[in-house]
Structure 1
Amino acid sequence: MASTLNEIVTHIKQQIPHIDCETAAQRRKTDHGLLIDVREPSEHSAQNTPEAINIPRGVLEMKITTLESDLSRPIYLHCASAVRAALSAEQLRRIGYENVFVVTGELSNIIQAHSI
């Protein structure tokens, strides 16, 4: 029997830290982690935080190693609902990135927290 998307995301939540947008913004001030928006470019263009790098989930694995070669640098992933971010985080862990976090919260709150 195939797993549902909900079951997959629940499993990922047990493996990869999910943190709220305010905590992520505070941590990034000291650890200089990357903030990556894994939404599609059209979504990112319509509403985004200037600090986020837009790399859609579908090409993240192909682009991340040229963007960041340090596997220990913190990477904070966000999208509109945390589902694509969770799936992306799982892939980054498989590649070998050690400090991957899923940023949770309403998109408007994520944008506000990271725009300060």
Structure 2
Amino acid sequence: MRSMSPADVHAVDGAVILDVREPREHERAHIEGTIDIPLGELVSRIDELPRDITVYVLCHVGGRSAQAAQYLEAQGFDAVNIDGGIVEWHRAGLPWTLAGSEG
């Protein structure tokens, strides 16, 4: 399974980011424009993901996204885990939204 830093993913033009966190986590802090599918729903909602482009997978700190990326790879997707999740995304100073305000 491949992994990339949040800064490297942010630098990818048009990156498709799959956020596998739970809705309550997403409501607290999120990245605009992500595809939001909780890990527990990924199997039943896999058809919502594009198969012709790399999917970068995000969670809180990287554990669930690693599981999701491995599953997606097994299903034929080009999937990349985002190291450190949204916590590292925030630490890197990248754009995100916190409970309705820009972070």
| TM band (smaller chain) | 0.7 to 0.9
The AA in structure 2 aligned to 1:78 is L
Flag the structure with higher helix content: 1
Asked if residue 22 in structure 1 is aligned to residue 7 in structure 2, the reply is yes
How far 1:114 sits from its partner (Å)? 4.9
Which consecutive residues of structure 1, in runs of 5 or more, have no partner in the other structure?
A: 1-15
Query: After TM superposition, what 4+ stretches of structure 1 lie above 4 angstroms from structure 2?
Result: none
What is the aligned-residue RMSD (CA, Å)? 1.8
Structure 2 CA distance for aligned equivalents of residues 41 and 19 of structure 1: 24
Structure 1 CA distance for aligned equivalents of residues 85 and 58 of structure 2: 10
How many pairs does the alignment contain?
Answer: 94
Q: Between Structure 1 and Structure 2, whose CA radius of gyration is higher?
A: 1
Q: TM-score, normalised by structure 2?
A: 0.79
The AA in structure 2 aligned to 1:21 is P
How far 1:49 sits from its partner (Å)? 1.1
Which consecutive residues of structure 2, in runs of 5 or more, have no partner in the other structure?
A: 97-103
Match of 1:113 in 2: 94
Flag the structure with higher strand content: 2
Match of 1:104 in 2: 83
The AA in structure 1 aligned to 2:27 is S
